[in-house]
Structure formats: C-alpha cells, structure tokens
Structure 1
Amino acid sequence: MQNIWSITGRSIAVSSLALALAACQSMRGPEPVAQANIPQSYTASASGTSVAAQGYKDFFADQRLVQVLDLALANNRDLRTAALNIQRAQQQYQITANNQLPTIGASGDVLRQDQGAGAQTRYNVGLGVTAYELDFWGRVRSLKDNALDSYLATASARDATQIALIGQVAQAWLNYSFANANLKLADQTLKAQLESYNLNKKRFDVGIDSEVPVRQAQISVETARNDVANYKTQVAQAQNLLNLLVGEQVPESLLAKQRVTRITSNNTIGSGLPSELLNNRPDIRAAEYKLSAAGANIGAAKARLFPTISLTGSAGYASTDLGDLFKSGSFVWGVGPSINLPIFDWGTRQANIKISETDQQIALSDYEKSIQSAFREVNDALAVRQNIGDRLSAQKRLVDATNTTYKLSNARFRAGIDSYLTVLDAQRTSYASEQGLLLLEQANLNNQVELYKTLGGGIKANTSDAVQQQPSSAERKAATTK
C-alpha cells in the first residue's frame, strides 16, 4: 500500500512540474496596429542614404569636436544615469524571470512537545519548494514579458539620451566658436569707433565741426564697448555649458577659438525615407517597447481571472532522536498543490483588465505621436536646409554692399562732402549685417547637426559598427505564431 501511494505521489509531482513547464499559455490579446498617418516621403528634397547610418566620428569633420564628444560620452552625468537605469531594469527583469523557477530552500527545526504521553523531541532537516506557482495561464510569463519590454525601453531611452547629448555638445561647441567670432567682430568695431571718435574730437577741437558729431561718435563707442562686454559674457557662458555637458573641464586645445566654417565631412546630407525613422530613432523604439509591455500587462490581468495553482514540496529527514536523524528509515518527503480562486471580488479583476486595456491604448497613442513628432522634426530641419543656402548668399552680398557703403561714406566724410551722420548710419548697418552673417553661418552648421540628430544619427561611433535591436515580446509572439 505504501508503494502504491509512493508511486502515486511521485506521479502527481512529476505531472504537476511537467504541466507547469509545458503550460504558460499567454492570455494577451491581439497587438494593436499603429496608424501614424505620415507621408512616404519628406516635404523637402533630401535624396540619398540617410546620414543616420554614419557614426559620429565619420559624420563630424573636426577632430577636436570628435574628442570632445568622446569625453562627453565617458563623463556626462545624464548618460551615466541612463546607463544605471539600464542596469536596474536588467536586474528587475532577472528577478521576474526567476519567478518562473521554483524557489528551493533548506530548513531545520527542533520541536519539543507533550501530547499526554510524556514530552518528546522531534528533529527535522531538509529541502523544500515554497509556493511555486504553476503558470497554467501565463500570468508569470506575461509579467516576465513586461519586465523584458521595460528593460528594452530603458536601453532605447539611453540611446536616445546619447543622440541628444551628441547634438547638444556639438551645438554648444559651435556656440563657443561663434561667441568668440562675435567678440572679435565687436572688438574690431570698437577700434573703428574709437578712431572715428578721435577724429571727430580733433575736428571739434580745431573748430571745424560742432560737438554733435563728437557725441554721436561717443554713443557708438560706448555701444561697441557694451557689445564687447556682452560677448565676453557669452563666451564664458558657452564654455560653462560645454563643460557641464561634457562632465569635466574641456581642454583649451579642443576649443574652437576661431569661427568654424565646416562641421561635417558630407557635401550633401541625405535623409532617406520616413520609414527608416522606425529603426533609426531610439525614442520611437522605446515607445514601441512600452506598447508591447502594455500588451503583456493585459495578459497578466486576464490570467488573474483563473485559479492560482501553487505547488509546495519538501524532502528531508525527521527523527525523535538526534543520533538517528540521518539513518535509514528517517527520510520523509511531501508534495501538494494548493489552489486559490476568489469567488466574489466585486469586479476588481475585470476592472484591472479594463485598466490594462486603457493603458495599452494610451501607449499606442504615445507610439503614434512619437512617430509623428519625429517626422515633423526631420521636416522642420529639412525646411531650414532647403533655404539656408539662399539666405547665406543674400546675406554675404548684403555684407559686401554695406561694407562698401561704409568705406565710401567714411571717405566722403573725411573729404568734407558728407556729414558724420551718414558715416554713423553706414557703420551701424555694416556692423549689423556682419552680425547677421555670423548668426546665419552658425544656424547653417547647427541645422546640419540637428538634421543628423533628428534622423537618429549618433548611436554608433564608427559607420562600420553594428547596432542590434532586440525584438519586443510582441514581436517574439508574432514570430512563434507564424
């Protein structure tokens, strides 16, 4: 009889474990289809392969900037925090994955009791499986899928942080360069204004002109001095921002003290097709992982409608005499399932399913919006790119015209033909046009950086580097059902 019960008990245990391993039927429903409704091409023409395929070391032409970017990727605190978030999500996924396996622990106890026949001591030692859930309905696996998608979303968020950081550092580096260029222009203007002031003062002192031109020249001098002080402040602030983004003091040898004329080695910047944004932009990929995680939550919520079946087992030795604990005949074992099914929960489980389904719709909306936002960012950058060349050409012609006007007006003033007011007006116009040209040149270079960033460039250091994208739990599910 004992053998029969022993065989039956082993059969139950083995069958239960087999069912637990073979079951795990996912309860998640069909995955929603995203409808981003974006055109198949960009509004502005930008033919050729997307520059996002290039590594940042190949895209950027100035090696000083490349070295600054390397420093930023190694020391930036935001990027470091993003990497730590990945580690945290990875450990959380490992914990959730471990829940699919039984927890085995060792135990031992000594029990002293008196049941009317005299006090008796019982010794126990053994191994046990504590409340191992048999995942018939896929609840634990759905939670594991959710944790996996959350981990992958965090990893994609880190990539998005890197892309944003590369764009910010490049533009801050350019900002420092052009702040110095504006400071140099203001210094040159101040020197010219001082010469005009001294000339007008001499003319006033000998009685040729009135005091009005002297004061007009003085106004221009003080205005130029104010600009010099302002640009010195901008240079210092630009350097402070660059140091903050890099995470340490940027060496002076890596700073661009002169105006940068070229930021990339590309003669033309291709954008590829809008569909490529789905693979190149990690922020879109992160939204897709979050959508998949929401679907896994639905599966976990639906599984709670069904009974929770757990298995508890133990094996070890028991004896009333410590010396006989490990002798033959002292081995004992036990295994038994438990079931938990709430009968009345006042609709709580159904409400949780509705919440999970609503969360999935929110995630779907966020995913579609991330695609639309990325498309709009690229289109905005391309719109600037389409017209920046004409604006630069016009501004350069304007600078030539205003400089010539200033030289002619100054010559006529010195010859006594025109008043100083004409010179003053021409000088102000020339100075403003020079400032406008610097702003446009900086905007042109910033736009190239912005386009590279919005297309998803910056994840790779070198173009030859491979970028592997892990499939979400929804994609894994679709692959297994084909």
Structure 2
Amino acid sequence: MLRNLRMASGVLNSVFDRSAQVTALAGAGVCVLLLAGCVGSAPPATTRLPVEVPARFDAVSLTNAFPETGWLEDFDDPAARALVAEALAHNYDLAAAAARVEMAAAQWRQAGAARWPRLGASAAGSRRSTVSDFGGVTRREETDQFNLGLNLAWEIDLWGKLANRVRAARADYEAETNLWQAARLSLAARTLKAWFSAIELELQTQLARETLEVFENTRQVVEGSYKRGLASRALDVRLARANVEAARATWETRRRQRDAAVRALEVLLGRYPREALALGTNLPSLKREVPPGLPSELLARRPDLRAAERELAAALERAGAARKDLLPTLSLSASGGGASGQLRDLLDSDRLFWNLAANLAQPVFEGGRLRAGVDLAEAATRQALSRYAQTVLNAFREVETALAAETYLRREEEALSRAAEESIGAEQLAWQQYQRGLVDIITVLESQRRAFSARSNLLSVRNARLQNRLDLYLALGGDFTAAAPPTALASRDP
C-alpha cells in the first residue's frame, strides 16, 4: 500500500500543482487511504487530513462480554437469517448491482484488449467477363481473380497510456464490486429494519385494538350510569364516546401502516406485495451490548469506502492517460496474402506478397481538445478526492452517532418502561375511584390515554433500539469484531 502511495504521489502533485486548495484536499485523501485501505494503486499522501481522526470512537455504551458471532446472530429472532437469505437471493435491486459488476468486468476486458495487436483476415473471389472486337471477330473472355490476406495493426504503448486506461477500468470494476457488497449489506439491514418495523406495527395494532375495547367498556359503564338517572353523567357520556371514536381512528391508522409495512417488506424479499407475510409475535431482544473502545480500523472493511477509494484511483489513471494523449503515438501495421487467377495457385510462393510499416504521429493542433481533456480529467480527480474525504467523514459521523444513540435509547427504554408500569397502575386506580365516585370521568379517560401512550411509546423505542443497532452495523461495515481483510481481486490484467 505504501509503495502505491509513493507511486501515486508524483502523479497527484503534477495534477494539482496549480491549486493550493487542491493540495489541502490531497492531504485529506492521504489519511483516508490509510484508514480505508488500498486494493491496488491508491491516492497519494503528502499531508494529514485536516480533520483529526481518533484511533478509537469516543461514544461509550454499557458493555458485556461479547461472543465473536455474525451480527445477524445478535438479534434473538430465528426468522432473521431466513429473511435476509431470501432477500439476497431474490431482490431485483441487488441483481441490478450484480449486473453492473459484470458490465464493469467486460469494460475492463475491453480496455485490456487495446494493448494487443489486432489481426484480421480477408478472402475474396471474383469473375469478370470482357468482350473485344478484333478484325470483325468478336471475342469474349472470362477471367477469375482470388485474393487472400492477413492484416495486423498494433499501437505500441510507448508512454503507458493504454496501461493507464486498463488500470482505470480495473479500478472501476473493483469499485462496482465493492458497491455490490455495500448493496448486499444495506439490503440485509433494510430487510431486518422492515421486519422489525412490521412487527412493531403489528403490536401497535393489537395495542390500539385493546385500547379501543377498554374505551368501549368505559363508554358502556358511563352510559349505563346515565340511563339509570344520573343526569350529571351526560358530559361523561360525551367524553367517553369521543374517546372511543378517537381510539377507533388510531386503530384504523395502525392497520393501514401495518399493511403498507408488510407490502414493502414483501417487495424487498422479491415477493408480490399481497400482504400475506406472517409476522412475529414480539420484537426480538439484543443478545449483547456494544463493546468499549471499538477501533476505527473497523471502517476499513466498509465497502462504500473501498469503492470511493477505487473511484479515486480510476480518476488518477484517467488523468495520466489524458496527459499522455499529448505525446506522440507509435503504431505498426503489417499485411500479407496472395492473389491468383486460379484458386489452386493462391498459396503459391511466387504469388504471395507482404507489407510492413511503422507510423509515428504527433498531435500538433486540435483546437484545444486534448488540453481540455487534461483539464477535465484533473477536475474529475479533484472531485473524486473530495468525495472520498467526505465519505470518510460521514462514516465516522454515522458510527459516533449510532454509538451515542445506543446509550440514549437504552435510558429512554428504561424510563418508558417505568412510565408504562406506573401508567397502567394509575389507570386501574382511577377506574376504581371513579366507580366509588371519588374522581370524575376526565381523570379516568386521561389515565387510560396515558397508559396507552406509554405502552405505545415503549414499543416504538424498543424498535428504535433495534433500528439503531442495524445502523451501527451498517456504519461499521459488519460486526464488532475485526474481520479478515477483503479477498484481493485478481492482480493480473486482462
């Protein structure tokens, strides 16, 4: 990796020697490369990234000993692995990403073919009839002509321009491969996010139905008191009825949201969205806490960072090729074959011919096209470098935010759990006191609403913890344990 950095440093300096601002960006790219790792040629390193990058993440979460298992195993849900496997096998967006990898591989092979000689063969045959009149005698003659030839053309890569283009195509292929890996990780996380959200909405729907039944029972009791002649309960009846209809609207809203969530999940799985997927009965729990002091080197396995680095490497190679377009090109051509009026004599040594030529061409004036191509390639390199640095900063932000949210959400769940317990107790007590005439109906209805709200919020925060853990795995590019380095792609050019 360091050797590649040294090789690229001279290239980048020549690209960016006209802009002090670009020099600062080059320094940003260096630290990024050292962080995310290289898979071949890499951007240069001359200075440090202006943003200080810590060796470990700052946010702290409660910790327990953790097993070295895959992140899917951290969710106590037996259906999780099967759902992810189905999505990876049948999702059409992922299939499109795989097709883009195949396209990039074909373009890599195309670029490599330009470094080889081009050989072509030709064969032709003709018959010609002529008429001549000599001394009043008309004569007709027919002649045959057969030709066989081979043609060879080869551009000699004097300056390495073609090699630059091959390496750029290879970097494009490696970038697409990493983007496909990123799409796989993202799809796995999105599938579980959709699954957990659908389960939460199923539970919210059940809770809304239970709340509707509670409000309906309250209405019946209040109406019974009113019918028994307690005229003071008229307002209570109105309030109870209003609560019933509001609860009914909430129930219908939850049913609609559940329907949409299930259909969205079915599409992720590659199924027809018929709202037929059976959901789990409870949100899963997390089997382990986040370990302390996660090393920032874990980000090196993030496929989107590796893809950004490969895109920068490709831009550097194209900038080198653009500058070499200003230099002379040397090409060789050769041809040979045979010609005869008789097919059987076509390969006779006396009828064979050959030709060999060399051509050296130097661009003199093209209206600034080549210079503009250099400027375009250098600007594209600066763009790729800036995008790479921004991708790294975003990666750190995502990890730090998710780590901090682990603690906040855990505390929020603990508080809401206590609030739900107290609200349920208050609801029962308010109803008992109302039946004894100690409190009015407003107190009862308010206690019922608070109990429903607390239980609903508790379900939401439990799902939020699961969603945040998935965000953390996405930000880290995998589990909490350092995985083996990515499998190296073939080093041999096509």
> TM bucket by the smaller chain?
0.7 to 0.9
Residues 288/26 of structure 1: CA separation in 2 closer, same or farther (3 Å cut): closer
CA distance in 1, matches of 2:9, 2:221: 89
Alignment of 1:142 onto 2:164: yes
One-letter code of the match for 1:350? Answer: R
Show the counterpart of 1:398. Answer: 419
Q: Unaligned stretches of 5+ in structure 1?
A: 1-24, 477-482
Within a 5 Å distance, the mapping from 1:256-335 to structure 2 comes to: 256-262=279-285, 264-268=286-290, 272-277=294-299, 279-335=300-356
Choose the corresponding residue for 2:49, options 35, 49, 57: 35
Q: Unaligned stretches of 5+ in structure 2?
A: 1-6, 13-42, 131-140
C-alpha offsets along residues 101-148 of structure 1, whole Å, 9 cap, x if unaligned? 11111112357899xxx998653213221x311110111111111111
Residues 471/317 of structure 1: CA separation in 2 closer, same or farther (3 Å cut): closer
**Contact 2:108–2:170 (Cα < 8 Å) also in 1:** yes
One-letter code of the match for 1:107? Answer: S
One-letter code of the match for 1:84? Answer: A
Show the counterpart of 1:452. Answer: 473
**Contact 1:128–1:314 (Cα < 8 Å) also in 2:** yes
**Contact 2:308–2:388 (Cα < 8 Å) also in 1:** yes
1:255 deviates by: 3.8
1:251 deviates by: 11
Show the counterpart of 1:207. Answer: 229
Alignment of 1:126 onto 2:163: no
CA distance in 1, matches of 2:456, 2:185: 30
One-letter code of the match for 2:109? Answer: Q
1:358 deviates by: 1.6
Choose the corresponding residue for 1:353, options 374, 379, 383: 374
Show the counterpart of 2:117. Answer: 102
**Contact 1:271–1:455 (Cα < 8 Å) also in 2:** no
One-letter code of the match for 1:342? Answer: P
**Contact 1:60–1:66 (Cα < 8 Å) also in 2:** no
One-letter code of the match for 1:258? Answer: T
**Contact 2:266–2:275 (Cα < 8 Å) also in 1:** no
One-letter code of the match for 1:158? Answer: W
Show the counterpart of 2:444. Answer: 423
Choose the corresponding residue for 1:85, options 90, 100, 111: 100
1:302 deviates by: 1.5
Within a 5 Å distance, the mapping from 1:9-24 to structure 2 comes to: none
1:346 deviates by: 3.8
C-alpha offsets along residues 50-83 of structure 1, whole Å, 9 cap, x if unaligned? 9998545444442212111111001111101000
Show the counterpart of 2:251. Answer: 228
Choose the corresponding residue for 1:174, options 191, 196, 209: 196
Residues 170/363 of structure 1: CA separation in 2 closer, same or farther (3 Å cut): same
1:48 deviates by: 8.9
1:252 deviates by: 9.2
CA distance in 1, matches of 2:248, 2:166: 65
CA distance in 2, matches of 1:52, 1:334: 72
Choose the corresponding residue for 1:436, options 457, 467, 480: 457
**SS where residue 236 of structure 1 aligns?**
helix
CA distance in 2, matches of 1:243, 1:93: 36
Identity %: 27
**Structure 1 outlier segments of 4+, above 6 Å:** 25-28, 47-53, 111-114, 118-121, 250-254, 462-466
**SS where residue 358 of structure 1 aligns?**
helix
**Contact 2:301–2:485 (Cα < 8 Å) also in 1:** no
Q: TM-score, normalised by structure 1?
A: 0.83
CA distance in 2, matches of 1:27, 1:340: 30
Alignment of 1:389 onto 2:404: no
One-letter code of the match for 1:167? Answer: A
**SS where residue 353 of structure 2 aligns?**
strand
Q: CA RMSD in A?
A: 3.3
Show the counterpart of 1:9. Answer: none
Question: How many aligned residue pairs are there?
Answer: 442
**Contact 2:263–2:275 (Cα < 8 Å) also in 1:** no
CA distance in 2, matches of 1:464, 1:287: 20
One-letter code of the match for 2:177? Answer: A
One-letter code of the match for 1:108? Answer: A
C-alpha offsets along residues 295-339 of structure 1, whole Å, 9 cap, x if unaligned? 111111111111111111123323354332122323322221112
1:411 deviates by: 0.5
